[in-house]
Amino acid sequence: MTVNAQGPTNTPLDTHFNVETPEGIQFNAAAAGPIPRMLAYTIDSLWRGLVYCIVFITTDFLGKAGEGFFLITLFLLEWFYPVVFEVFRNGQTPGKKAFKIKVVNEDLTPVTWGNSFIRNLLRAVDILPFFYVFGLTSMTLSKHFQRLGDMAAGTVVIYNTAAPMRAPKENALEPCAPPKALTPNERRAITEFTLRSSDISESRQEELATLLKPVTDKEGEEGAKLLKSIGAWLLGHK
């Protein structure tokens, strides 16, 4: 546990972490914490419960054989439901899919049979002593929110952030080429401003635009308008 009782942190707190490939490419991912994962687990439990109900009702008339069949279903689903989904469905059980999270290896490669098997087999430990208390504790304390099974298998649950293509509204302002050549950081900031401007109040937009006076040479309302026009231009409305 990284308890720094009093005092500032060295690096800004973040749930994101970087993985660098041997080629020197950096991948960034956000680890998923205990609360969305608990809820995802609940959804998966509900699905399994539904299947148990259906199997139980349909095999009821078979007597002892039906009972056996039901128990086999119970065994298979409890142990292999997550494994099968994680391996064949891009690391996502239905519950995880609902929360847009997925299981990957610690180096962000897709999870394999062996790893998935280990992490799900060790649910037997995480579930102790009462309803995943060990797992929750481990998740809360470990840096990338890993439960004990994740640590053993070398897996981590991350957000599946395939960033959706966002575009400003069509009837936005007339696109306008930037008055000066912009650095990548400036472009990023201006596009972000343009895309989110509908959530930001007018006065705040003007305040922000004034900050960028050295770049645009305009401030206030005029500046905000110009920034949004530049943003539209940068986003491909020409």
Partner 1 sequence: MNFDRLQVNPELRNKWQAIDMGIALARQWYWPLLLAWVIPVLIVSIPFAIIDSTFITLLPLIIWWLKPLFERLPLLYLSRYLFGEFARPKMTLKGWFRLYTFDAFAALTWRRLSVCRSFTLAITVLEKQKGHARAERRRLLGRSTNRAATWLTITLIHAEMFLLFGCVSLVVLFIPEQVDINYDTLWSIIENPTVIEYVYTFLYFISIAIITPFYVACGFYLYINRRIELEAWDIEIQFKQCAESRLQNARKQQNREKQKRHLPDLTKVRSIITAIIPTLGTMLIGGLLLLPAAAIAEEPTPKYALLQESSDSSTTSSTTSRKTLSTPDAQIPPPEESQTLWRSDADATLDTKERILSILESPPFVIEKEVHHWKPKTSNGIVKTIREKIISAILSLLSLLGAPSNRIDIALFVEILLWGLVIAIIGLILWHFRHHFEGLIAPKSKSLSPLESDIPDTIMGMKVTQESLPTDVIGTIQSLLSTNQLKEALSLLYRANLHDLAHRHHVSLKSWCTEMECAQLAQASCPAPIASYFTALTHCWLQLAYGHHLPDKSKILSLANDWSNLQHSPPQVLDHGASQ
Interface with partner 1 by CB under 8 A: which residues? Answer: 1-9, 12-16, 30-36, 38-39, 99-101, 128-133, 136, 140-141, 145, 159, 180-183, 185-186, 188-189, 192-193, 196, 199-201, 204, 208, 211-215, 238
Distance of CA 102 to the CA centre of its chain: 7
- Considering beta carbons, is residue 66 or 220 the nearer one to partner 1? 220
- Considering beta carbons, is residue 22 or 129 the nearer one to partner 1? 129
Token digits of residue 34: 């205990």
- Considering beta carbons, is residue 72 or 141 the nearer one to partner 1? 141
138, 129 contact by CB (below 8 A)? no
Closest distance to partner 1 from the beta carbon of 94 (Å): 16
79, 116 contact by CB (below 8 A)? no
Closest distance to partner 1 from the beta carbon of 143 (Å): 9
- Considering beta carbons, is residue 149 or 223 the nearer one to partner 1? 223
Closest distance to partner 1 from the beta carbon of 225 (Å): 16
β-strand 16-20 against 26-30: which pairing, if any?
Answer: antiparallel
Residue type, 203: S
- Considering beta carbons, is residue 99 or 117 the nearer one to partner 1? 99
Token digits of residue 15: 């749930």
Closest distance to partner 1 from the beta carbon of 61 (Å): 28
What DSSP assignment string belongs to 79-103? HHHHHHHHHHTTT--HHHHHTTEEE
d(CA 84, CA 65): 26
Closest distance to partner 1 from the beta carbon of 70 (Å): 27
